[in-house]
Amino acid sequence: MDVKVKIRRYDPDIESPVSYWEEFSLAVPETATVLDALIQIREDMDGTLSLRCSCRSAICGSCAMRVNGHAVLACQTKASESLDSEGIITVEPAGVMPVMKDLVVNFDPFWEKIRTVEPYLQPQGPEPEGEYIASNESMLHLSGVTACIMCGACVSDCTVLEVDPTFLGPAALAKAYRFTADPRDGNAEGVSQRRLEQLSMPSGMWDCTRCNECVQACPKGVAPMDRIMSLREQAMDVGLGNNNGARHAEAFTELVAHSGRLDELRLPVKTVGMFNIPALLSFVPIGLRAMTHGKLPPLMHKSVANVQNIRRLFNKVNQSR
Amino acid sequence: MKYAFFPGCVSQGGAPELYTATKLICSKLGIEIEEISGWTCCGAGVMQEKNQLFGDTLNARTFAKAEELGLPILTICSTCQGVMGQANLRMKRDPEYLAEINSHLAEEGLEYKGTAEPKHLLWILIEDFGLDSLVPHLTRSLSGLRVAPFYGCYIVRPTEALDIEDHPERQTSLESLIETVGATLIDFEGKTRCCGFPILTINEKNSLAMVGKHTSEVKDLGADAMVTPCPLCHLNLDGYQPRAAKQLNRSISLPILHLPQLIGLAMGFSHQELGLQKHIVNTQPIQLKVGAGAS
């Protein structure tokens, strides 16, 4: 199979280094992965091409990179399925992290964030006489998130990290959930209050946009964003509601439970807090602009017909939880 | 061709022009839409953080009402589409979960049988109506109008809840539509990224950075407008664009069209009829370029 591989190259050791595209034409077996093609290029065509790889079996997590704009493990991605209409496979280094050379990125910020969430069990209170007991169900639940191989694909494609390097990011937050959801972590009831408090701070769980990029990118089904949503639920359940993120989720639910549909005028007010005058004032220019353009949501929000059915559903669902 | 119409909250609030433009083009195309009576908010992914069961129950309620009508559901919002698709997948995969939800709906005399397939107008136009059938309705040339696509996260990810495997063409649906209506496609990498709306009141700086990044990138590529099938993206990319431009310390002025507005322009509807005067970013340059002053 003839393929063209277009690679984003970068050499820090030349004078005035800049990244550039280089295209290689080669024949690979039908069964070749993108990693096979890259190794073939390095061995037969250009020995200076730098990339990380090891197991070639989607276990070690070394070869995460962007193929056709999205983060994947190159060893898990078939070349034949990656060709565009012109027979080209476009390969770039993973996003967000600084490029060191060609397809090799610097993982230091990644590991720093993993360390920030203190990735080890921290039981509180007196030690049990025997071993710490964890139910089979809780461990089965955690098996999804412990499948993480730290490849950085989720971080590469995170839309928040793209604009804000201080965000903890999907890998570290999913790792944090691995501990907050472990019954052996935290107090005797398995509540990791201190962790959840720290994770509720700016740059933590509430800064995720829920864009699903990390869910799509993860080669191991960890679904980091779903773990972040679970962290938010845990935080709200233990009373950590004094921030815009938690207030937003709570107000949204409350407003819909009350009228069946979203009251777009009241949601932002309830999110920032009724007495947060500076934040409320910042809405004024936006509100005025919307009003002059006939886009201001109705001042008198209407409930859906037979809204008592919605309110009853809300109460019933809550009682059953 | 008839559908159970799910308008979504934003078309009733911050983006009323989306509702008007949808009804206008559907009527002229002969796509009959019957609004689902008493439909409720899909939860937008926000309610699901706090109470997923309640969110899914509300969506099941809407699905059950569409089943009663015996019609497939038409959505006009990427977020509604994605959230409803995800809720539907959870219920279809887990009969016990669906039974639990139906036990809550029973008091209202409703039951969701699991047959609903919510479908965005964008997909309906391509898969059911057909782009070839759209062409005869295009009476105004959009030649020279340079338009960039912006999908909205929930209509592209996660692919499992969007049936992308069986419908790979959905991944390029917006580009196909832009080209069919005769506009020039301005492709750009950010088209499937996040607009930042979900964190607008949580981390405004980051949200505006996303607005600024996408709109300025497209502007610099020479686009006259961006088109989106997601009214939440529209609210942020249009309504907060002036603030994003200020944060970037540059001017942007990129009109953000709702999907049916772009189609409506090509079908000969006027600027006013499509509600383009309601946008925050001035849409007059588009009117001048395509001559949409009168119907």
Residue A133, domain CATH: 1.10.1060.10
Do B201 and A268 count as a contact with CB atoms less than 8 A apart?
yes
Q: What is the pLDDT of residue B295?
A: 46
Using the Cβ of A320 and the Cβ atoms of chain B, whether some distance falls under 8 Å is answered with yes
- Read off the pLDDT of each residue in B251-278 and give the average, rounded to a whole number: 97
Domain count, chain A: 3
Using the CB atoms, write b or e for A206-240: b if 16+ within 10 Å: bbbbbbbbbbbbbbbebbbbbbbbbbbbbbbebeb
Tens digits of residue pLDDT in B13-31: 999 999 999 999 999 999 9
Does an H or E element contain B257, and which? Answer: strand B256-258
Q: Distance between CA B176 and CA B187 in Å, rounded?
A: 11
The answer to whether A20 and A96 are in contact (CB under 8 A) is no
- The owner of tokens 């793209």 is A162
- Please tell me which of the candidates A236, A262, A289 has its beta carbon nearest to residue B50: A236
Domain boundary pick from A75, A105, A135: A105
Residues A101, A189, single domain; the answer is no
Residues A40, A83, single domain; the answer is yes
Domain boundary pick from A53, A86, A105: A105
Helices (H) and strands (E) in chain A, counts: 13, 7
**Helix or strand or coil: residue B120?**
strand
Q: What is the pLDDT of residue A133?
A: 85
Residues A157, A266, single domain; the answer is no
Q: Distance between CA B90 and CA B147 in Å, rounded?
A: 36
Residue B26: which residues within 8 A CB-CB, separation 6 or more?
B32, B33, B121, B260
Q: Distance between CA A229 and CA A29 in Å, rounded?
A: 42
Q: What is the pLDDT of residue A113?
A: 98
Q: What chain A residue is nearest to B45 in terms of C-alpha separation?
A: A210
Q: Distance between CA B215 and CA B238 in Å, rounded?
A: 9
pLDDT above 70 as % of chain B:
99
Domain boundary pick from A206, A237, A268: A237
Does an H or E element contain B3, and which? Answer: strand B2-6
Of B9, B157, B234, B194, nearest to A207 (Cα)?
Answer: B194
Using the Cβ of A215 and the Cβ atoms of chain B, whether some distance falls under 8 Å is answered with yes
- Please tell me which of the candidates B37, B38, B46 has its beta carbon nearest to residue A249: B46
Cβ neighbours of A304 in B, within 8 Å: 38-40
- Please tell me which of the candidates A216, A271, A295 has its beta carbon nearest to residue B14: A295
State the ipTM, two decimals.
0.93
State the best of A252, A258, A286 to mutate against chain B, taking most chain B CBs within 10 Å: A252
Residues A45, A62, single domain; the answer is yes
Q: What chain A residue is nearest to B109 in terms of C-alpha separation?
A: A309
Residues A44, A136, single domain; the answer is no
Residues A214, A188, single domain; the answer is yes
Residues A75, A116, single domain; the answer is no
Confidence (pTM): 0.95
Of A123, A122, A119, nearest to A145 (Cα)?
Answer: A119
Tens digits of residue pLDDT in B215-229: 999 999 999 999 999
Residues A78, A9, single domain; the answer is yes
Using the Cβ of B240 and the Cβ atoms of chain A, whether some distance falls under 8 Å is answered with yes
Amino acid code (one letter) for A126:
P
Looking at beta carbons, which pairs linking A141-146 to residues 24 or more positions away fall under 8 Å? Answer: A141/A181, A142/A178, A142/A181, A142/A182, A144/A221, A144/A222, A144/A223, A145/A174, A145/A175, A145/A177, A145/A178, A145/A181, A145/A222, A145/A227, A146/A178
Residues A113, A232, single domain; the answer is yes
Q: What is the CATH number of the domain that holds A16?
A: 3.10.20.30
The answer to whether A51 and A62 are in contact (CB under 8 A) is no
Residues A183, A200, single domain; the answer is yes
Domain span at residue A43? 2-105
**Helix or strand or coil: residue A64?**
strand
Q: What is the pLDDT of residue A295?
A: 87
Cβ neighbours of A267 in B, within 8 Å: 201
Q: What is the pLDDT of residue B294?
A: 53
Q: What is the pLDDT of residue A132?
A: 87
Tens digit of pLDDT at every position of chain A (321 positions):
999 999 999 999 998 899 999 999 999 999 999 999 999 999 999 999 999 999 999 999 999 999 999 999 999 999 999 999 899 999 999 999 999 999 999 999 999 999 999 999 999 988 888 988 889 999 999 999 999 999 999 999 999 999 999 999 999 999 999 999 999 999 988 899 999 999 999 999 999 999 999 999 999 999 999 999 999 999 999 999 999 999 999 999 999 999 999 999 999 999 998 889 998 888 888 888 998 998 888 888 999 999 999 999 999 988 887
The answer to whether A181 and A135 are in contact (CB under 8 A) is no
Residues A173, A280, single domain; the answer is no
Q: Distance between CA A60 and CA B71 in Å, rounded?
A: 49
Residue A97: which residues within 8 A CB-CB, separation 6 or more?
A105, A106, A107, A109, A110, A152, A155, A156
Residues A141, A254, single domain; the answer is no
Reported residue count of chain A is 321
